[in-house]
Amino acid sequence: MRATSAASLSFLLSLASTLSAVSLVAKPDAHARSASDRPNTPNVITASSGELEITNKVIAPDGYARRASLAGGSFPGPLIKAQKGDNFSINVINKLQDPTMDLTTTIHWHGIFQNRSNWADGVSFVTQCPIQPNQKFLYQFNADDQTGTYWYHSHHALQYCDGVRGPLVIYDPDDPHAHMYDVDDETTVITLSDWYHQTSRKLTQPYTPNATLINGLGRHMGGPMSPLSVFSVDHGTRYRFRIVGASCDAWFNFTIDGHKMTIIEVDGVETIPVEVDSLPVLAGQRYSVVVTADRPVGNYWIRALPSIGNQTFDHGLNSAVLRYAGAPIQDPTTKQGPFVAPFEESQLHPLNNPGAPGVPELGKADVNINLVPGFNNGFTINGRHFLPPPAPVLLQMLSGARHPSELLPSGSVYELPRNKVIEINMPATDLNPGGAIGGPHGIHLHGHAFHVIRTSTNSTPNFVNPVKRDTVSMGSQAQTSNITFRFVTNNAGPWILHCHIDFHLFSGFGVVMAEAPEAAAVQQSGVVPADWRMLCPAPILKATAIFNTTGEFDLAAFNITTNAPRPNATSVVMTSSHNPNASGPIITTSQSPNATGSLTIPAGASTISASTTRPNTTSYNTPANFSTTGFNATSSNTMTTGSLNVSSSTISPSYSSVIHTLY
């Protein structure tokens, strides 16, 4: 999964160079304000014809230089902008070279439902194999009628902790809240990120970040007075700030000194406006807030207090600047608080279609699932660590696997029937009596937004107008809370549900919801592009032929059948072994008596036969077990499905075989 060569670590780029952007041109946007001097304007690419190069680079966003993995050459990556209904076409090119970090990659489009395009969800070993170095992959999808604030990030190992993350916005020309603000453009997008001075592979628990970055800039304890992000405003103007929780671990309490915030959108869902003066933002969550620049002209601190790390604002840590036009260019001197309108998640109500689906009673949905998180040498759900399977779950479905007993990872896949109301309950207590897993954890479900009928801070069910979102807080400081949410299975495919603290997912905190597997296989088989199949390395087929005999026999033939033609010829090597207690040589495979043990799959072939004979019969003592242990192709082409059938010409007295699916 990880490849070779490294770029030199011997040089450090200047700060200006490290913060430089790749040249990317934005499509004209009806929401952009007139030209003005706005610091830290992000790079922008358009969703309909974008390109993201994933590269390694030395950056020093908080004054400390380290190598990073970046999307589009910057941190955060370029803002991807779209209009409602646009087709997305983003070509991701893997140019990673630094072996101290992951060299394969994917891009997940967080919050986009990927209806009919599950293959483009970008989750390593759930919906695709990762993109190999020096390879590229074109993500093409349509977000239908979705609008709002989203983001994209690598969904492979811990890679986004090393920098592969950026914002994504779908603008709505008919936004029902448009009358509430004057400015909504690339300069009002705010990303909140934790940052580490070590690469993700070198980090050890408790994974404490060194800095908070707001739009990719910040300061670290004991470091230089590095530049901070500055958001310029004009007095009397109303701004829609789109806040993205692009954190790897920490959550942030977000505030702007002297200014209230009115929430109008949560995770892409328009909400009834709610005024707050502080806003907790977990990893994966997004909010749109309206802020009116109605205070005296000056500089005001924007603060993002992290849940872990250096919890101070001294010397501009964990901060950015709100600067009114005409104010001096200097750090603010404003003070924080007091807070009189704290945030409560249960205060949020959808603007449209507010009711939760199904019977308005706990446990009365069509399907009710209790997912109990735990910790036992890593995180678990219902006692199982989530481990990436050897083949993507979607590929397993396309290969004929349907039932959870057939799908890997074993015990971490839940089958959901189509067009049913699903209720998920997640208690914040451990499987061990009296244990707890802490919190809060941002629980994110791919493929859906869901109705949160019980929040982590309010145990009273709300079926009338519960908050609707795709990433919800689970667990509280009290560690006694449950969350319960509902959604309808109207989007066939495998969708991962996981904690968005990336270290927690990496250590097992996730499951896969296999939504209508039969429908998913039929639907996706017609739309999966050929390049998607080519992402996976050569397949491995494991099958076992067991012979229980005291007599003599010849093994006559192996017949390998695939359900899909291979586009190119491939050399395949088959090996076999026998029980250590049996006598005689190991069986070898060949196309002819003089062959070397490899067989060629011709272009377009769907059935291949290889004769395996023993020139000299040999007696074996009971039991004698012969196993074909591998089917290892040397090509990057993928045999999508298949089976191995073993027959023999003479076996006495009995024979049986076990067939495994080829992915």
Q: Which residue among the candidates 54, 499, 536, 608 is catalytic per the annotation?
A: 499
Provide mean pLDDT across the span 28-37.
33
Q: Which residue among the candidates 259, 441, 448, 451 is catalytic per the annotation?
A: 441
Over residues 93-114, the pLDDT tens digits come to 999 999 999 999 999 999 999 9
Annotation marks residue 235 as catalytic: no
Over residues 216-270, the pLDDT tens digits come to 999 999 999 999 999 999 999 999 999 999 999 999 999 999 999 999 999 999 9
Residue 30: exposed, middle, or buried by beta-carbon count in 10 A (0-12, 13-18, 19+)?
exposed
Task: Rank 13-27, 171-185, 436-450, 599-613 by mean pLDDT and report only the highest.
Answer: 171-185
CATH architecture type of domain 367-529 = Sandwich (2.60)
> How far, in Å, CA of 567 to CA of 75, rounded?
39
Over residues 526-556, the pLDDT tens digits come to 899 989 988 987 543 333 333 333 333 333 3
Annotation marks residue 500 as catalytic: yes
Sign of torsion over alpha carbons 400, 402, 406, 412: positive
Q: Which residue among the candidates 343, 498, 560, 601 is catalytic per the annotation?
A: 498
Q: Which residue among the candidates 45, 129, 155, 483 is catalytic per the annotation?
A: 155
Q: Which residue among the candidates 125, 137, 153, 231 is catalytic per the annotation?
A: 153
| DSSP, res 249 | S
Give the model's pLDDT for residue 556: 32
Number of neighbouring beta carbons within 10 Å of residue 8 = 8
CB 55, CB 96: distance < 8 Å:
yes
* Displacement of CA 72 from its chain's centroid (Å): 18
How distant, in Å, are the alpha carbons of 40, 64, 191, 226, 502 from that of 216? 9, 13, 8, 12, 19
Across the chain, what does the average pLDDT equal? 79
Q: Which residue among the candidates 131, 443, 501, 587 is catalytic per the annotation?
A: 501
Q: Where is 505: in which H helix or E strand? A: helix 502-506
pTM metric for this prediction: 0.79
Annotation marks residue 177 as catalytic: no
Annotation marks residue 179 as catalytic: no
- Under CATH, domain 15-111+146-343 is a member of which superfamily? Cupredoxins -  blue copper proteins (2.60.40.420)
Identify the band that residue 340 occupies on the pLDDT scale cut at 50, 70 and 90: confident
Annotation marks residue 504 as catalytic: yes
Q: Which residue do the tokens 């072939």 mark?
A: 605
Annotation marks residue 578 as catalytic: no
> How far, in Å, CA of 324 to CA of 327, rounded?
6
At 97, the amino acid letter reads Q
At 442, the amino acid letter reads G
Q: Which residue among the candidates 177, 259, 446, 451 is catalytic per the annotation?
A: 446
SS3 402: coil
* Both structure tokens of 411: 């015990």
With b for 16 or more beta-carbon neighbours within 10 A and e for fewer, the 361-394 pattern comes to: eeeebbbbbebbbbbeeebbbeebbbebbebbbb
Q: Where is 15: in which H helix or E strand? A: helix 15-18
Give the model's pLDDT for residue 479: 52
For β-strands 450-454 and 467-469, DSSP reports them as antiparallel
Percent of the chain with pLDDT over 90: 63
Identify the band that residue 73 occupies on the pLDDT scale cut at 50, 70 and 90: very high
Give the model's pLDDT for residue 456: 87
Annotation marks residue 499 as catalytic: yes
Q: Which residue among the candidates 59, 75, 108, 112 is catalytic per the annotation?
A: 108
Q: Which residue among the candidates 385, 444, 448, 451 is catalytic per the annotation?
A: 444
Give the model's pLDDT for residue 272: 98
φ/ψ of 180, rounded to 5, equals: -90, -10
Annotation marks residue 156 as catalytic: no
> How far, in Å, CA of 469 to CA of 98, rounded?
37
Q: Which residue among the candidates 506, 509, 626, 631 is catalytic per the annotation?
A: 509
Annotation marks residue 660 as catalytic: no
Of residues 42 and 184, more confidently modeled:
184
Annotation marks residue 451 as catalytic: no
Annotation marks residue 110 as catalytic: yes
> How far, in Å, CA of 496 to CA of 381, rounded?
13
Identify the band that residue 40 occupies on the pLDDT scale cut at 50, 70 and 90: low
Worst-scoring range by mean pLDDT, 63-77, 399-413, 488-502?
399-413
At 38, the amino acid letter reads R
Q: Which residue among the candidates 453, 504, 536, 560 is catalytic per the annotation?
A: 504
Worst-scoring range by mean pLDDT, 151-155, 362-366, 454-458, 615-619?
615-619
Annotation marks residue 220 as catalytic: no
